[in-house]
Amino acid sequence: MLEISHVTKTFNAKTVNERVALDDVCLRLEDRDFVTVIGGNGAGKSTLLNAIAGVWPVDSGSIVIDGTDVTGMSEHRRAALLGRVFQDPMLGTAATMQIEENLALALRRGQSRTLKAGITKEERGRYKDLLAELGLGLENRMTAKVGLLSGGQRQALTLLMATLRKPKLLLLDEHTAALDPRTAAKVLELSERIIEENQLMTLMVTHNMKDAIRYGNRLIMMNEGRVILDISGEEKKQLTIELLMDAFAKASGETFVNDRMLLS
Amino acid sequence: MNLAVLLNALPGAVAQGLIWGIMSIGVYITYKVLDLADLTVDGSMATGGAVCVMLILNGWNLWLALLCAIVAGMLAGLLTGLFHTAMGIPAILSGILTQLSLYSLNLAIMDFKANQGINVTKYQLIVSQRNVRDVSLSNPIVITLVILALLIGILYWFFGTETGCSLRATGANEAMSRAQGINTKKTKILGLMISNGIVALSSAMLAHYQGFVDVNMGRGAIVIGLAAVIISEVIFGKLFRNFALKLLAVAIGAVLYFIVIQIVLWLGLNTNLLKLLSALIVAVFLAIPFWKANFSAKHPHKGGRTHA
């Protein structure tokens, strides 16, 4: 379970650039929730994920993941509970290290790193099977440097790394935004499959309304650092883009004008 | 110009190059593996020698003194690491601060004298310039090669361990490392400590080799280390993929650097201009990738146009 209570974050406080990125956000996720997060630019979607991941401390409020209060915990310590995939394919993997080395780093997330071998023979066998399941031919390139992979391949690998050690919560931050439409669709399908198989609690930020409606069992919309819409169950299944835009207009008192969203 | 003079000077250049090669491997760990430019080395390149020589002059065992020198270097790295991670000072500035404090500390270690001599006939030393042309096991080239092999072996093992991998990951992608649960502050401090420990070992050996330690012997060390790293990349970059071979290449790079310097001196360059020359060589080699990128951006391959 994830419990976010009254979390507030202001960037550049007390300067002319002051911006309230999260404004008293309260959100509760059940163990098997797959929640899509949607909203315009600067709505606070990525900020919410970064707050959970601990990229910087929040100003107030508390974040509890699976009974552990992580509010004051450093980013690398709460990593034990989290799997993360970023928007930029470059961010999730170490380009100058091998595919199998990247996976070995991910397998040890939350463990203490000792002077034992960084990668073992048994692990290699397991990685080979998992990579084969991706269907990208990576199982035959396990010692290739990740920098040689395409954006889609890197995101697929990052997804595998994020879930290699089953996380309490999976954070997907517009992880298909930098990919071409076909690759994006593939990576999304892969994400859904992995989430289903491992029954993962997931927060997926997307700028694509269709994807937000199609995937997951619950949808939240953010605007100006607040959660303004929370749709789940049957209501979520009946959602259309038109309904979503109407709901936005009602909830925020303004029309949804965001080119990036309308076009996609 | 007498070729015999040059040939006569070559064994010395090789021995010095190998000793500085050890130092350059230390620089490689921060500059290439950790992706940090660490200027601490200009200080720790004198600290190791100062600690080792003073302890031996006070009757300590050679190996114990060497070990203490390495520990002293690691403490210097720890200080830089704390400046950087605990106090949030940029890495370069952290190194400069430690380097400056080490100048005073090195003088303090050396009883506030600018240099301290150590005589090979009176004390047991690990290497000495005096034996550089001997065909025996006491030749500094032989001894340094053995130490170099040991060092490369240990580092090869270490960077294959879980801890070593987390260090490499920190240099490759810090954000990803934290997302994978790596305490990047800790790995950076550890990397800086290992690097400066190695530099201090090299410093101690250099002091033994030349028979004295000088408070200024580390001045410009970072440039020599970088030169070795860059030369090794230019010559062996495509050839050596294995980590151990890459470290070996760095040591060879240092040897080549000292041979080139010897040749330039033989050609009649004023010794006082040597540091200017080193700096210029490193600047040019550092600029080559940048120039290459600029050139190919302005002059795209002609083949590409036929497909456009």
Torsions phi, psi of A257, nearest 5?
-110, 105
Q: What is the ipTM of this complex?
A: 0.91
Which range of residues forms the domain containing residue A11?
2-263
**Closest approach of B73 to chain A, Cα-based (Å):** 22
Beta bridge partners of A227: A222
Q: Do the Cβ atoms of B180 and A115 come within 8 Å?
A: no
Nearest CA in chain B to A107: B180
Among residues B208, B231, B275, the alpha carbon closest in space to that of B28 is found at B231
Instruction: Write the residue in A75, A90, A97 that is nearest to B178 by C-beta.
Output: A75
Instruction: Write the residue in A74, A76, A118 that is nearest to B162 by C-beta.
Output: A118
**B303 has pLDDT over 70:** no
pLDDT tens string B198-235:
999 999 999 999 999 999 999 999 999 999 999 999 88
Q: Does domain B8-307 have CATH number 1.10.3470?
A: yes
Instruction: Work out the angle at residue B156's Cα, subtended by the Cα atoms of residues B83 and B282, and round it to the nearest 5 degrees.
Output: 60
**Across B228-253, average pLDDT:** 94
So what's the pLDDT on residue A61? 97
Q: Do the Cβ atoms of B175 and A91 come within 8 Å?
A: yes
pLDDT category of residue B304 using cuts at 50, 70 and 90: very low
Helix, strand and coil in chain A, % to nearest 5: 40, 25, 35
**Closest approach of A42 to chain B, Cα-based (Å):** 22
So what's the pLDDT on residue A210? 92
**Closest approach of B188 to chain A, Cα-based (Å):** 14
pLDDT tens string B48-94:
999 999 999 999 999 999 999 999 999 999 999 999 999 999 999 99
**A263 has pLDDT over 60:** no
Helices (H), chain A: 45-53, 75-78, 99-107, 121-134, 151-164, 181-198, 209-214, 233-237, 241-252, 259-263
Q: Do the Cβ atoms of A113 and B160 come within 8 Å?
A: no
pLDDT category of residue A152 using cuts at 50, 70 and 90: very high
| Whether the Cβ atoms of residue B21 and residue B197 lie closer than 8 Å to each other | no
So what's the pLDDT on residue B308? 40
Q: Of how many residues is chain A composed?
A: 264
**A23 has pLDDT over 90:** yes
Q: Do the Cβ atoms of B168 and A109 come within 8 Å?
A: no
A255's CB contacts (< 8 A; 6+ apart) are: A245, A248, A249
Q: Do the Cβ atoms of A94 and B184 come within 8 Å?
A: no
Q: Do the Cβ atoms of B179 and A97 come within 8 Å?
A: no
**Across A190-211, average pLDDT:** 95
Q: Do the Cβ atoms of A115 and B163 come within 8 Å?
A: yes
So what's the pLDDT on residue A252? 74
- pTM beyond cutoff 0.90: yes
Q: Which chain A positions have a beta carbon within 8 Å of B246's beta carbon?
A: none
| Whether the Cβ atoms of residue B173 and residue A94 lie closer than 8 Å to each other | yes
Total domains, chain A: 1
The residue among B32, B158, B166, B180 with the most chain A CBs within 10 A of its CB, best to mutate, is B180
**Closest approach of B159 to chain A, Cα-based (Å):** 8
pLDDT tens string A70-93:
999 999 999 999 999 999 999 999
**Closest approach of B217 to chain A, Cα-based (Å):** 35
Tell me what the pLDDT averaged over chain A comes to.
92
So what's the pLDDT on residue A257? 56
So what's the pLDDT on residue B307? 44
Coil, strand or helix at A5:
strand
So what's the pLDDT on residue A258? 55
pLDDT tens string B116-146:
999 989 999 999 999 998 888 889 999 999 9
Q: Do the Cβ atoms of B162 and A114 come within 8 Å?
A: yes
pLDDT category of residue B286 using cuts at 50, 70 and 90: confident
Beta bridge partners of A218: A35, A232
| Whether the Cβ atoms of residue A67 and residue A111 lie closer than 8 Å to each other | no
**Across B230-259, average pLDDT:** 94
Give chain B's contact residues with A (Cβ, < 8 Å).
Answer: 158, 160-166, 168-169, 172-173, 175-184
Task: Give A64 or B120, the one with higher predicted confidence.
Answer: A64
Determine the straight-line distance between the first and last CA of chain A, rounded to whole angstroms.
32
Q: Which helix (H) or strand (E) holds B302?
A: helix B302-307
pLDDT category of residue B305 using cuts at 50, 70 and 90: very low
**Across B133-160, average pLDDT:** 95
pLDDT tens string A165-194:
999 999 999 999 999 999 999 999 999 999
pLDDT tens string B3-51:
899 999 999 999 999 999 999 999 999 999 999 999 999 999 999 999 9
Instruction: Write the residue in B158, B160, B163 that is nearest to A113 by C-beta.
Output: B163
**Closest approach of B127 to chain A, Cα-based (Å):** 32
Among A38-42, A73-77, A136-140, the range scoring the smallest mean pLDDT is: A38-42
Nearest CA in chain B to A89: B176
**Closest approach of A93 to chain B, Cα-based (Å):** 6
Q: Which CATH number does the domain housing residue A37 bear?
A: 3.40.50.300
Structure tokens at A23: 């404004």
pLDDT tens string A41-50:
889 999 999 9
Q: Do the Cβ atoms of A91 and B176 come within 8 Å?
A: yes
pLDDT category of residue A254 using cuts at 50, 70 and 90: low
Q: Do the Cβ atoms of A94 and B161 come within 8 Å?
A: no
Q: How far apart are CA B12 and CA B19, in angstroms?
A: 11
**A63 has pLDDT over 50:** yes
So what's the pLDDT on residue B301? 63
**Residue-range domain boundaries for chain B:** 8-307
Task: Give B293 or A11, the one with higher predicted confidence.
Answer: A11
